[in-house]
Amino acid sequence: MSFLDQEYREIITKAVIGKGRKFIQDTNTVSPTHKPSSILGCWIINHLYHAKRKEDELVEVNGSYDVNVWYSYNDNTKTEVVTERVSYQDLIKLAVKDKHTLGDEEKVYAKVLQQPNCLECNIAQHDQKIVVEVEREFLVEVIGDTKVTVKVDPNGLVIDDDNWDLELSDDEFDSVDTEFMSKKD
């Protein structure tokens, strides 16, 4: 008895063949032009990133963002905003990996679960630098070809839309309450 006699078929399709997730906490150093007296605010903007397959079970996410720190200086008499571009490289291990894939063509998608966000911003003790603690989180998926086996219905059930009886019979039509909207309870 051959494979086809058993009423099974193999379908080749695109599917998620690898998935991983990673939460990262990072420390960045910003160099202001003046010696800071106090930190007035810190925010992160302009996040850009892209992902690529690195090795069999790794995805590399390369990105960058701007760290903006508003600080006072000159004994809290003047303020300034310093902006620095920060680049990063995160390696994310695939926790789920399908070993039975077909071919080498794969696409890698990265989704930001937590945009880079400032956790804490402090003045360094030993110099005039500012230390910024940042968090971010990614979900990565690898899409590739895989094979799925399905059982075929030997009777080949086919439903023809023309066979559906959607008409109301006279008895059903007579039982419709046409005044249901105008009744007050």
Per DSSP, the residues of 65-81 read: EEEEEEEEETTTTEEEE
Q: Where are the beta strands (DSSP E) in 94-176?
A: 96-97, 101-123, 130-151
Distance CA 34, CA 173 (A): 84
Listed by start position, the domains of the chain span: 4-153
Position with higher pLDDT, 109 vs 183: 109
User: What is the structure's pLDDT at 126?
Assistant: 84
pTM exceeding 0.85? no
Q: What is the mean pLDDT of residues 69-93?
A: 96
Task: Locate 141 and state its tokens.
Answer: 């998926």
**Mean pLDDT for the chain?**
87
Q: CA end-to-end span of the chain, whole Å?
A: 70
- DSSP reduced 3-state for 153: coil
pLDDT in tens, 34-69: 999 999 999 999 999 999 988 778 999 999 999 999
CB count within 10 Å of CB 57 equals: 14
